[in-house]
Amino acid sequence: MRKPRLMTPGPTMVPEDVLLEMARPVIHHRSAEAKQVIAEVLSGLKEVFQTRNDVLILTSSGTGAMEAAVVNTVPPGGKALVLNAGLFASRWGNICRAFGIHAVLLDTEWGQPVDPARVAAALERHPDAVAVFGTLSETSTGTGHPVEAIGRVVAKTPAVFAVDGISGVGAMECRTDAWNIDLLCVGSQKALMLPPGLAFVAVSPKAWARIDAFAPPCYYFDLSAARDRIQQFDTPYTPAHTLILALRAALRRIRDEGIEDVWARHTRMSEACQAGVQALGLELFSSRPAEGMTVFRVPEGLRDTDIRDKLVERFGLTTVGGQGQLKGQVIRLGHMGYTDELDVISSLAALEMVLSDLGLDIEPGAAVTAAQQVLLARTVAGSR
Amino acid sequence: MRKPRLMTPGPTMVPEDVLLEMARPVIHHRSAEAKQVIAEVLSGLKEVFQTRNDVLILTSSGTGAMEAAVVNTVPPGGKALVLNAGLFASRWGNICRAFGIHAVLLDTEWGQPVDPARVAAALERHPDAVAVFGTLSETSTGTGHPVEAIGRVVAKTPAVFAVDGISGVGAMECRTDAWNIDLLCVGSQKALMLPPGLAFVAVSPKAWARIDAFAPPCYYFDLSAARDRIQQFDTPYTPAHTLILALRAALRRIRDEGIEDVWARHTRMSEACQAGVQALGLELFSSRPAEGMTVFRVPEGLRDTDIRDKLVERFGLTTVGGQGQLKGQVIRLGHMGYTDELDVISSLAALEMVLSDLGLDIEPGAAVTAAQQVLLARTVAGSR
């Protein structure tokens, strides 16, 4: 017997009741019932995103939402600032280049948070940059970036602030309106507890003014067309609406728990996981870990695949390795969405056993105990 | 009690076992298991599409596949011929315009099939057209176009032939390679018996040569990037892989029935439905009906919504009305995918009762009997 435990930073585990929504007979996407589902889903997404802005539903991967944010706000030949601090941040630059946009890369060492003061300086050097592309939670490094502080900087300029919130939103605090995020991009397969296939963009009035200022070279990802339709609880093209039906069920779960409590749960899981990993003598990769995942360096003398394959074989526990320049160097353990504190504890217990098996000098129970101590302290201090 | 009967030209009904696939726990999209699923799915799609060309999987609506076909083959400022014979055909033109492509529209009256001789003449007048964009089954009019004959014409020129097969493939004969289709676009929510959310493009060597000849202004829909990944049974961005899992189950059904027999079933359903509708004195809209749907004019004195709403209220039977210039003028009844002959007969029975209720002089049983006669004759003549 092997129970599947999908502890990756996306896709993530989907609650059983949400899975069953997808097994219901397909309805027509222009029916009154479908519109009612979209209306409820929009209201739930706005609560999760903490926004009163328009929220648009795209049938695509999260990358589609990023492309939409780029092509709708920066004309070909225009200039944009990319806060380049990881593999997914660099995707902003790649999208810009594909569409003939001049991407100014503000490089930050992988694993470090972006410095808002450097963003301010870069925008002074490039006053003609019409957009800033940043990241809430960099999935390749497990780093959370100071989006609130960066938002304050960008808000003082004419540039719009677009944030890849794909693996962050729903797992860590993100207040779209209060933090001056003009375009928030989100994917379905992370903390929203859905399979992949849907993406979302929240668009501020400042962003709409930019979008309306030119005719963007796009069709499928034309946000103006999506805005016209969403006002009637509809989409320009047939959406993946079994996923939208499932999203309603997932959002009801988030509403019942309360978004602030969802964030707090992720903070507890993150701190417990960090403590556990460090108790094993492992080194965290990021100096400012994102709440939805824990990324640690592969211990010397071992290969990441040795550890990860054993986790799957013995415990059905799926993690992911490093990407790009981090290939082979880190292991990324996700804990977001339909994940609770015991999932983190059992992942740490599995890690202890596997590392011990592989010959590391591991004290059995050390990681679990360290995590429990964090959770116990948190419960006493933060109990409601 | 009201049983749902989704008799629209997409989305269509999904078999119960395929629905249940989507309720299975989510797996990681880069796992060996996921790659195995993609490998089997590609082989099944090639059989359905009748092609040895590369087949790419996109997470998008069918429109995304159309956009991919356009932006990857025609550079901005380039010229393309659009076989403009309905609302979805005109979408080819709209996509071209959004990307600065010069779309020459070859207009055909809605409901009429495109004339291959006129395509040949147009290509002589426009030898600089690098692509021809056509349609297998025009969903807005229910017309099947002579793609085989058009393919012969285009094959003699340097232009590539892209076909919107979204509501046609799997419902009507379509032999991608034998018919010289260079880019075949297909959606998941039609005859493939899946919910919406996936799209497919089959790309010929002639099309790859065009694609490789310039750097297309695209990112998410970059077919070259998709080609690089699909060779490892992978996709560039996280795909909607619960739908891919479901697709495997749907394709196994098609394989078990046999694609030629699937086409034959749709032909029988189409001919039976046409006979039934005409037996009620209703007029077919198209002079060459596509096999996946029957489109008829709304009888004088009635509104399409009167009929369609009653079909839903009394029998849970969903149809769709006209689009664009046909709004209010036609009713479109889909019969593709997970639909059999009795679904067609019961739809006709429902139509008889509703039209009778609405005061039309209908002979009860006339449509059903006419359909049965077609099916009986077909069974004797074509039985295996």
Residue pLDDT, tens place only, A170-197:
999 999 999 999 999 999 999 999 999 9
Taken in order B160, B166, B170, B172, the sign of the CA dihedral is negative
Quick one: closest CA in A to B308, which residue? A31
Question: Please, which residues bridge with residue B245 across strands?
Answer: none
Determine the length of chain A: 384
Closest CB to A14 among B26, B29, B94: B26
Would you call B11 and A29 a contact, using CB atoms and an 8 Å cutoff?
yes
Would you call B217 and A76 a contact, using CB atoms and an 8 Å cutoff?
yes
pLDDT of B382 > 80? The answer is no
Determine the length of chain B: 384
Mean pLDDT computed over every residue of chain A:
96
- Selected for mutation to probe chain A from B37, B193, B219, B243 (highest A CB count within 10 Å) is B219
- What span, in angstroms and rounded, lies between the C-alpha atoms of A310 and A351? 9
Mean pLDDT of A279-286: 98
Q: Mind telling me how many Å the CA of B236 is from chain A's nearest CA?
A: 10
pLDDT tens string B82-123:
999 999 999 999 999 999 999 999 999 999 999 999 999 999
What CATH architecture is A16-256? Answer: 3-Layer(aba) Sandwich (3.40)
CA-nearest of B87, B102, B99, B195 to B141 is B87
Strand, helix or coil for residue B241: helix
**Phi and psi for B303 in degrees, rounded to 5?**
-100, 145
Would you call B217 and A95 a contact, using CB atoms and an 8 Å cutoff?
no
Mean pLDDT of B340-359: 98
- Residue where the block lists tokens 């880190």: A330
- What span, in angstroms and rounded, lies between the C-alpha atoms of A122 and A127? 8
Give ∠ CA B29-A13-A352 in degrees, rounded to 5: 90
pLDDT of B159 > 80? The answer is yes
Is the backbone peptide bond immediately before A196 cis, with ω within 30 degrees of 0? no
pLDDT tens string B266-312:
999 999 999 999 999 999 999 999 999 999 999 999 999 999 999 99
- What span, in angstroms and rounded, lies between the C-alpha atoms of B200 and B64? 9
Buried b (16+ CB within 10 A) or exposed e, B7-22: bbbbbbbbbeebbbbb
Residues of A with Cβ-Cβ distance to B14 under 8 angstroms? 25-26
Question: Please, which residues bridge with residue B172 across strands?
Answer: B169
pLDDT of A384 > 90? The answer is no
Q: Mind telling me how many Å the CA of A253 is from chain B's nearest CA?
A: 18
Two structure tokens written together for B175: 């032999």
Is the backbone peptide bond immediately before A76 cis, with ω within 30 degrees of 0? no
ipTM of the complex: 0.95
Quick one: closest CA in B to A99, which residue? B217
- What span, in angstroms and rounded, lies between the C-alpha atoms of A275 and A269? 10
Would you call B196 and A8 a contact, using CB atoms and an 8 Å cutoff?
no
Closest CB to B242 among A22, A31, A218: A22
Alpha helices in chain B (DSSP H): 16-21, 32-49, 62-73, 87-98, 116-125, 147-155, 205-211, 223-230, 241-257, 259-279, 304-315, 341-357, 366-382
Mean pLDDT of B346-367: 96
pLDDT-derived band of residue B1, with 50, 70 and 90 as boundaries? confident
Alpha helices in A301-340 (DSSP H): 304-315
Would you call B239 and A61 a contact, using CB atoms and an 8 Å cutoff?
yes
Question: How far is the first Cα of chain B from the last one, in angstroms, to the nearest whole number?
Answer: 38
- What span, in angstroms and rounded, lies between the C-alpha atoms of A54 and B101? 31
- What span, in angstroms and rounded, lies between the C-alpha atoms of B111 and B85? 7
Two structure tokens written together for A181: 């995020």
Percent of chain A with pLDDT over 90: 97
Give ∠ CA A200-A204-A206 in degrees, rounded to 5: 140
Taken in order B164, B166, B171, B176, the sign of the CA dihedral is positive
Closest CB to B94 among A23, A99, A219: A219
- What span, in angstroms and rounded, lies between the C-alpha atoms of B49 and B258? 12
pLDDT tens string B19-61:
999 999 999 999 999 999 999 999 999 999 999 999 999 999 9
Q: Mind telling me how many Å the CA of B187 is from chain A's nearest CA?
A: 10
**Phi and psi for A153 in degrees, rounded to 5?**
-65, -50
- Selected for mutation to probe chain B from A5, A17, A61, A95 (highest B CB count within 10 Å) is A61
Strand, helix or coil for residue A153: helix
Quick one: closest CA in A to B26, which residue? A13
What CATH architecture is B5-9+258-382? Answer: Alpha-Beta Complex (3.90)
Residues of B with Cβ-Cβ distance to A95 under 8 angstroms? 219
Would you call B31 and A4 a contact, using CB atoms and an 8 Å cutoff?
no
- Domain range annotation of chain A: 5-9+258-382, 16-256
- What span, in angstroms and rounded, lies between the C-alpha atoms of A266 and A101? 37
Closest CB to B20 among A23, A67, A240: A23
Could you tell me whether strands A102-107 and B54-59 are parallel, antiparallel, or unpaired per DSSP bridges? unpaired
- What span, in angstroms and rounded, lies between the C-alpha atoms of B2 and B315? 6
Q: What pLDDT score was predicted for residue B384?
A: 45
- What span, in angstroms and rounded, lies between the C-alpha atoms of B113 and B20? 39
Residues of B with Cβ-Cβ distance to A32 under 8 angstroms? none
pLDDT-derived band of residue B380, with 50, 70 and 90 as boundaries? low
Would you call B240 and A95 a contact, using CB atoms and an 8 Å cutoff?
no
Q: Mind telling me how many Å the CA of B117 is from chain A's nearest CA?
A: 31
**CA–CA distances in Å: residue A110 to residues A8, A133, B285, B290, B320:** 19, 16, 61, 55, 52
pLDDT tens string B221-268:
999 999 999 999 999 999 999 999 999 999 999 999 999 999 999 999
DSSP line for A247-283: HHHHHHHHHHH-HHHHHHHHHHHHHHHHHHHHHTTPP
Mean pLDDT of A57-74: 98
Contacts of A173 (CB under 8 A, 6+ apart): A263
- Residue where the block lists tokens 């998008």: B60
Q: Mind telling me how many Å the CA of B296 is from chain A's nearest CA?
A: 20
pLDDT of A49 > 70? The answer is yes
CA-nearest of B179, B223, B174, B169 to B336 is B169
pLDDT tens string A73-121:
999 999 999 999 999 999 999 999 999 999 999 999 999 999 999 999 9
CA-nearest of B72, A289, B14, B347 to B80 is B72
Q: Mind telling me how many Å the CA of B15 is from chain A's nearest CA?
A: 9
Helix (H) or strand (E) holding B55: strand B54-59
Would you call B220 and A63 a contact, using CB atoms and an 8 Å cutoff?
yes
Would you call A59 and B100 a contact, using CB atoms and an 8 Å cutoff?
no
Whether A45 and B40 have beta carbons less than 8 Å apart is answered as no
Would you call A241 and B196 a contact, using CB atoms and an 8 Å cutoff?
yes
Give ∠ CA B137-B143-B145 in degrees, rounded to 5: 65
Contacts of A291 (CB under 8 A, 6+ apart): A137, A144, A168, A171, A172, A263, A266, A267, A269, A270, A336
pLDDT-derived band of residue A1, with 50, 70 and 90 as boundaries? confident
pLDDT-derived band of residue B381, with 50, 70 and 90 as boundaries? low
Would you call B61 and A217 a contact, using CB atoms and an 8 Å cutoff?
no
Would you call B11 and A30 a contact, using CB atoms and an 8 Å cutoff?
no
Q: Give residue A223's identity as a one-letter amino acid code.
A: L
pLDDT of A380 > 90? The answer is no
**CA–CA distances in Å: residue A237 to residues A233, B85, B219, B293:** 12, 19, 19, 20
Q: Indicate left, alpha or beta for A170 from its phi (over 0: left) and psi (-120 to 50: alpha).
A: left
pLDDT tens string A109-160:
999 999 999 999 999 999 999 999 999 999 999 999 999 999 999 999 999 9
Other C-beta atoms closer than 10 Å to the C-beta of A256 total 9
Would you call A217 and B99 a contact, using CB atoms and an 8 Å cutoff?
yes
Residues of B with Cβ-Cβ distance to A220 under 8 angstroms? 60-61, 63-64, 67, 221
Other C-beta atoms closer than 10 Å to the C-beta of A242 total 30
Give the global pTM. Answer: 0.96
Residues of A with Cβ-Cβ distance to B24 under 8 angstroms? 19
pLDDT of B379 > 80? The answer is no
Would you call B29 and A196 a contact, using CB atoms and an 8 Å cutoff?
yes
Would you call B60 and A64 a contact, using CB atoms and an 8 Å cutoff?
yes
Mean pLDDT computed over every residue of chain B:
96
- What span, in angstroms and rounded, lies between the C-alpha atoms of B188 and B197? 7
Residues of B with Cβ-Cβ distance to A13 under 8 angstroms? 25-26
DSSP symbol at A384: -
